[in-house]
């Protein structure tokens, strides 16, 4: 366990001299979701994964903000002695990856975004209330699915506030994605996920198309048939392929 501020994070590090790959989880997910991707990549890489606050085996905290996740990533990298990681993020983790890469362009080798991040989000009061209602309806289920890595050990309202903040950050992504100087490889899924309807996720995915033209550092590595929630389990070879592609492009620059 890695002590960070008022909490402690469960960190897994395979060690070795291979390229350091750091895995960043979805909003309420745990590091167990990366198991198949790590197996597909094999022992030639140094795999580092961790559970965010109140997820997986990590401890609870008084702060579940996005900035807390940024500080946690800083703490994990410092504790493991990693200077230029290759960040692989799924959904909310992909949002964290590009934000961290934007803030630390000289400290990151590149980012693989697994079905994210896309510059679209609900910023209006109606959308936020929809999110709150969704989690309040699910409040009795959340403790049951938390051990499966599908929810956090926090209240329904706390789940909702993390989701709302994530929507706001996604909606403000265009200037960050336009200005990124680090290489980003997208693996794009198909279909909606829980809480979305009417093709909202597909609409969000189209928002990167003009950015791919404006910023050559952004590239789609693969488009896969699995949906947002199943992509790591069903299309792990595509995610592993994006990591290999980015590592090969970077060559000796990765350390």
What pLDDT is attached to residue 254? 43
pLDDT in tens, 173-226: 999 999 999 999 999 998 766 555 567 888 889 999 999 999 999 999 999 999
Burial class of residue 200, CB neighbours in 10 A (0-12, 13-18, 19+): middle
52 Ramachandran zone, left/alpha/beta (phi>0; psi -120 to 50): beta
| Parts of the chain with a pLDDT under 70 | 192-198, 252-255
What pLDDT is attached to residue 4? 96
What pLDDT is attached to residue 1? 93
* Torsions phi, psi for 129 (to 5 deg): -70, -35
- State the total domains in the chain: 1
Paired residues of 12 in beta bridges = 49
The two three-digit tokens of residue 94, written as one number: 């992909």
What pLDDT is attached to residue 198? 60
Helices and strands in the chain: count of H runs, count of E runs: 11, 9
What pLDDT is attached to residue 150? 87
> Cis (ω within 30 of 0) for the bond into 117?
yes
What pLDDT is attached to residue 193? 65
Q: Which CATH number covers residue 230?
A: 3.40.50.1820
Question: Which domain covers residue 12, as residue numbers?
Answer: 2-253
* Torsions phi, psi for 100 (to 5 deg): -65, -40
What pLDDT is attached to residue 47? 97
């Amino acid at each position: 366990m890695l002590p960070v501020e008022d909490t402690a994070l469960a960190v897994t590090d395979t060690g070795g001299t291979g390229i350091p790959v750091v895995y960043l989880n979805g909003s309420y997910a745990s590091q167990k979701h990366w198991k198949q991707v790590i197996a597909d990549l094999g022992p030639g890489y140094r795999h580092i994964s961790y559970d965010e606050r109140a997820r997986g085996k990590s401890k609870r905290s008084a702060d579940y903000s996005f900035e807390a996740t940024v500080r946690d990533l800083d703490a994990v990298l410092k504790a493991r002695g990693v200077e230029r990681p290759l960040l692989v993020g799924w959904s909310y983790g992909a949002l964290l990856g590009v934000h961290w890469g934007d803030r630390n362009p000289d400290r990151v080798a590149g980012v693989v975004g697994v079905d994210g991040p896309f510059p679209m989000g609900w910023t209006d009061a109606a959308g936020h209330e929809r999110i709150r209602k969704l989690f309040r309806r699910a409040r009795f289920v959340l403790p049951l699915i938390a051990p499966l890595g599908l929810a956090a050990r926090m209240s329904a309202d706390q789940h909702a506030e993390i989701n709302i903040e994530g929507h706001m950050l996604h909606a403000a992504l265009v200037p960050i994605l336009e200005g990124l100087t680090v290489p980003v490889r997208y693996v794009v899924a198909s279909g909606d996920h829980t809480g979305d309807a009417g093709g909202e996720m597909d609409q969000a995915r189209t928002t990167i198309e003009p950015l791919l033209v404006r910023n050559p550092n952004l590239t789609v590595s693969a488009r896969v048939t699995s949906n947002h929630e199943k992509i790591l389990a069903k299309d792990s070879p595509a995610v592993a392929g994006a990591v290999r592609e980015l590592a090969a492009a970077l060559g000796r620059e990765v350390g």
